[in-house]
Amino acid sequence: MSLNKTELVAKVAAETGQSQAAVNSVIDGLFSAVAETLANGGKVSIPGWVTFDTIETAARTGRNPQTGETINIPAGKRAKATIGSKLKAAVKK
């Protein structure tokens, strides 16, 4: 079973009694705030559930899978999500 955004919005709306438009707005706002915070070098933590952070990646060499040609991959940043204890426990059930 998997949930896309539309199904998630409908499920949360049904569980909370809120309108789908309101839930959709909250979810969009949540991910917008997370993205903005990470872009500014911050960290977002929802204790027990998930922590979003950025990590620095080193420059490295890679290969183009179609041609086999060696390419240089520049250093950069990546988003990282760490799962919290409540979410880990919920998955183990």
Give residue 6's pLDDT.
96
For residue 5, the enclosing domain spans: 1-42
Same domain, 29 and 66: no
Question: Do 34 and 50 fall into the same domain?
Answer: no
Q: Return the pLDDT at 93.
A: 81
- 64 and 25 both lie in a single domain: no
- 76 and 86 housed in the same domain: yes
Most distant pair of Cα atoms in the chain: their distance = 55
Per-residue pLDDT of the chain in tens (93 residues, 90 and over written 9): 899 999 999 999 999 999 999 999 999 999 999 999 999 999 999 999 999 999 999 999 999 999 999 999 999 999 999 999 999 999 998
Buried b or exposed e, range 62-90, using 16+ CB within 10 angstroms: eeeeeeeeeeeeeeeeeeeeeebeeeeee
Both 38 and 59 in a single domain? no
Task: Give pLDDT, residue 12.
Answer: 97
The number of folded domains in the chain is 2
**Tell me, what's the pLDDT at 1?**
84
